[in-house]
Structure 1
Amino acid sequence: MAKVYTDKDADLSIFKGKTLAVLGFGSQGHAHALNLKESGAKVIIGLYKGSKSIPVAKEKGFEVYETGEAVKKADVIFVALPDTKQAAAFEKDIKPNLSKGKTLLFSHGFAIHFKTVVPPKDVNVIMVAPKGPGHIVRRQYTEGKGVPALIAVYQGGKEAKKIALAWAKGVGGTRAGVIETDFKEETETDLFGEQTVLCGGCTALVQAGFEVLVEAGYSPEMAYFECLHELKLIVDLMNEKGIAGMRFSISETAKWGDITVGPKIIDSGVKKRMKAALKDIQTGKFAKDWVKEYKGGYKKYNALLKKGEKHGIEKTGEKLRSLMPWMPKRSIKGVQAAY
């Protein structure tokens, strides 16, 4: 069982007299910056010239600099940029302003593990990865709680680990518990989870279930409720109590369907394809294809997203969610994390 680090294992005084820079002010960036600031650290923000996030960061009370200048001024630099944009930012703004002893920090290991970013040997390279989106990291912190986090040291030894633990404490992670991993393990398991279960697997399963019911003549509204709306109830139960705990809370009929029909749907063929997806991650094929897609202007990426937005489940869901006053009213059009 991995050691779980808590508040007593981390020392925020390591940041005394130091400047922390957060490059980007999107989901994770804004949460880390605000939490660290409220934990007593000196935090500045680095953004590219003309970024829409500049007035937002200033309004939150931060000094904002162009990316290269922020790197120059800081001792610890959090690269809170999209995976595909880190390489260009590193070559243009980060690398020329790094000096011996500085620390580069990431919240995901993609760029380092797949070597789209190759840092100099005389800087620390660490990771602090909260296991939750930025708005939850922020909300939990303001409520006096925290989101569990992973830390990793790619280069830099004991001192680098102390910095990682201090950062994790500053964002609230040690309140919940921090586990040490390495860049390879975090990157490969994170990508696998996203692709095969949490995002890719889940959305494909929901859409397929909806299609089967509608094609069989059932109303789209009933298909939506049974294949999407109620999914949250089951996931919440699993999140709180595990799979066995979820099964304890559902009817015997639901349990019998779960344990007898579920394995026929998610069968050995699915597992075989999951293993193939994992192989593509491990060999770097997925990373190579994703970087190529980015460099090609996101053509396939945007086309597939647009196709998904036109799926029948979206129109049905929009109508039904409008009848639920407790649901936040959001439009996906034009919504993107700000960097």
Structure 2
Amino acid sequence: MDMLYDRDADTDLIKSKKIAVIGYGSQGHAHTLNLRDSGVAEICVGLRPDSSSVAKAQAEGIEVKSIADAAAWADIVMILTPDELQKDIYNTHIANNIREGAALMFAHGLSIHFNLIEPRADLDVLMVAPKGPGHTVRGEYLRGGGVPCLVAVQQDASGTARDIAMSYACGLGGGRSGIIETNFRDECETDLFGEQAVLCGGVVELIKAGYETLVEAGYPPEMAYFECLHEVKLIVDLIYEGGIANMNYSISNTAEFGEYVSGPRVVTSDTKAEMKLILEDIQSGKFTNRWMQGGQEEIKKFREDMAAHPIEEVGANLREKMPWISSNKLVDQTKN
């Protein structure tokens, strides 16, 4: 699998396009601002008139249009609204307004791979998926770097779909760090699995279980927080920088030995078997069906339970005593 860079793309191609970014959340604000700063002169954000994001986009000097008007105006329509809203937004505001021969783009393959959206045959259907949250996509760009991107072409009506995707990825900063070509299926299924089994679901449950184990054994909650949550960033940064070997080089011999003898007792063959079942649910569409057909109600209860977990209260109190954590925070909800 080759890694591609700015030198492998026509980085000026995207500058000649009129781009409508639908949505101005985490990914939406990053795509819009990075593309503007990369030289895209004609760019707008498509939003509902009553969206709280209208003021945020306008504060950055970005033109805001209705979703329908944005779709009718643009050469490229990038849909960056939440997955669960995309089908309705597309069918209601975009399908009958997007111009013939335009490019329809996504940053995640779910809506196309699971046939929630069925684009017209005259449209290019592309994906540019940064491998990181939008706040990181913006932050790395401002530091002169970029977040690696995946690009894919589902439908190439124009014959230039790949060139557009590559140029767009470079406009985000992906060409500085690396671009990988893939397809909608592989991106969608691996992304969902990584989120559920490891990055979000797996990590959060591991943190909670470790915290609860220490507190139930009589240790101070603050100690449990530091050991099981706060230090996760320190370890992940080492792994991010140079892989697992880099982390093991940096930690104590005692910690490394504990990793080898105790890690497999936590993540067992039963855990891996459950991971395979999770992957099967993703591949079959079972997870997507549950999310689209009632998940929006389920998630409300999950959020309430998570907010009520003692680790959140303990963590909030401790972070107030560590102001340096928020002095350069990744997420500023007043801006994006």
Give me the TM-score of the superposition, normalised by structure 2. 0.94
SS at match of 1:96: coil
Where do 4+ consecutive residues of structure 1 move more than 2 Å?
12-18, 335-338
Letter in 1 for 2:18: T
Aligned to 2:105: 105
1:179 counterpart SS class: strand
Deviations 1:73-123 (A, max 9, x none): 001000011000000000000101123211001001111111111111110
> Aligned residue for 2:277?
276
Structure 2: tracts of 5 or more residues without a match: none
1:311 paired with 2:309, answer yes
Question: Between Structure 1 and Structure 2, how many residues are aligned?
Answer: 332
Partner residue in 1 for 2:96: 96
**Is this contact kept in 1: 2:189–2:283, CA < 8 A?**
yes
Contact 1:26 1:337 survives alignment (8 Å): no
Would the alpha carbon gap of residues 7 and 214 (structure 1) be closer, same or farther in structure 2, given more than 3 Å must change? same
- Contact 1:146 1:176 (8 Å CA) reproduced: yes
State the AA in 2 paired with 1:161. Answer: R
Partners of 1:15 and 1:246 lie apart in 2 by 39
Question: What amino acid sits opposite 1:114 in the alignment?
Answer: F
Unpaired runs of at least 5, structure 1: none
Q: Distance in 2 between matches of 1:117 and 1:80?
A: 14
Overall identity of the aligned pairs, in %? 47
Q: Kindly report which structure 2 residues correspond to 1:139-178, keeping only aligned pairs within 5 A, or say none.
A: 139-156=139-156, 158-178=159-179
SS at match of 2:151: strand
Counterpart of 1:289? Answer: 290
CA contact (8 A) 2:22 2:77 kept: yes
* Aligned residue number for residue 325 of structure 1: 323
8 A contact 2:56–2:334 mirrored in 1? no
CA distance in 2, matches of 1:187, 1:126: 13
What is the alpha-carbon distance in structure 2 between the residues aligned to residue 275 and residue 259 of structure 1?
23
The equivalent residue for 2:61 is: 61
Deviation at 1:336, TM superposition (A): 9.9
Alignment of 1:96-135 (within 5 A): 96-135=96-135
Measured in 1, the distance between the counterparts of 2:15 and 2:203 equals 44
Aligned to 1:13: 12
Could you tell me how far apart the structure 2 residues matched to 1:82 and 1:181 are? 22
Using a 3 Å threshold, how does the CA distance of structure 1 residues 216 and 15 change in structure 2: closer, same or farther? closer
User: Where does residue 229 of structure 2 map in the other structure?
Assistant: 228
Deviation for aligned residue 1:160: 0.3
Amino acid at match of 1:286: F
Is contact 1:27-1:337 (8 Å) kept? no
Q: Offset of 1:52 from its aligned partner?
A: 1.4
The answer for the alignment partner of 1:72 in structure 2 is 72
Give the deviation of 1:48 after TM superposition. 1.3
Secondary structure of the corresponding residue to residue 40 of structure 1: coil
Match of 2:52 in 1: 52
Mapped contact 2:18–2:73 kept (Cα < 8 A): yes
What SS does structure 2 have at the residue aligned with 1:205?
A: helix
* Superposed displacement of residue 337, structure 1: 9.5
Distance 1:299 1:17 in 2: 42
Q: State how far apart, in whole Å, the 1-side matches of 2:260 and 2:77 are.
A: 48
Deviation at 1:142, TM superposition (A): 2.0
1:187-206 aligned at under 5 Å gives the runs 187-206=188-207
- Checking the alignment, whether the CA contact within 8 Å between 1:7 and 1:175 is kept in structure 2 is yes
Letter in 2 for 1:138: R
Query: For residue 201 of structure 1, what is the amino acid of its counterpart?
Result: G
The CA deviation at 1:315 is: 1.6
Query: Which residue of 2 is the match for residue 182 of structure 1?
Result: 183
Which amino acid in structure 2 is aligned with residue 191 of structure 1? L
Question: Aligned partners of 1:120 and 1:324: how far apart in 2?
Answer: 53
Q: Distance in 1 between matches of 2:233 and 2:104?
A: 37
Q: What amino acid is the match of 2:98?
A: L
Distance in 1 separating the partners of 2:201 and 2:283: 18
Give the counterpart letter for 1:60 in structure 2. E
Matched-pair contact (CA < 8 Å) for 1:78–1:104? yes
